């Protein structure tokens, strides 16, 4: 009986150095992809897009109400005031509950505010000027944008 050591071709597998090299290359490529995608910037852009949509939704609802009633909601004043959530009326905010149901499903809430926060504010502001032009503003805007507001 003679023992023959298995030939190199019979041993299939990778050496530790080869495995570490492949893992290192994958880690470098993954970090490059993550930096290129920049998830923080992408999430900020998504929240800003939601704010644009919310501001337009509120101002469209206000003007649909004004068209139907021949007058702007009486709660909108000439000073910039926070907008209240549906069904809530904390002090110093504009109640737009008359818009819910017909013009809005509910008053939109800033994407960074939790829907169960007890403050009652939406994160948006509204005002009208002397010419009855209404401005809706999203003051919690994130970089790279500096402001989100619509005036009609």
pLDDT at residue number 63: 95
Token pair of 48 as six digits:
């800003």
Token readout for 31 is 């970090």
Of 54, 49, 67, nearest in space to 150 by CA: 54
Tokens of residue 73, six digits: 């909601």
Residue 11 has pLDDT above 80, yes or no: no
| H or E segment to which residue 135 belongs | strand 134-138
pLDDT tens profile 48-105: 999 999 999 999 999 999 999 999 999 999 999 999 887 777 888 899 989 999 999 9
């Amino acid at each position: 009986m003679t023992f023959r050591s298995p030939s190199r071709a019979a041993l299939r597998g990778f050496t530790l150095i080869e495995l570490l090299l492949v893992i290192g290359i994958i880690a470098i490529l993954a970090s490059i992809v993550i930096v290129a995608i920049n998830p923080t910037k992408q999430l900020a852009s998504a929240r800003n897009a939601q704010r644009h949509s919310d501001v337009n939704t509120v101002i469209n609802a206000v003007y649909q109400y004004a068209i139907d009633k021949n007058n702007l909601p009486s709660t909108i004043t000439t000073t910039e005031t926070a907008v209240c959530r549906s069904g809530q009326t904390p002090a110093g905010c504009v109640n737009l509950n008359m818009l819910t149901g017909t013009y809005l499903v509910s008053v939109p809430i800033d994407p960074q505010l939790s829907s169960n926060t007890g403050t009652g504010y939406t994160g948006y502001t509204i005002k009208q000027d002397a010419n009855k032009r209404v401005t809706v503003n999203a003051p919690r805007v994130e970089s790279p944008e500096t402001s989100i507001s619509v005036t009609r």
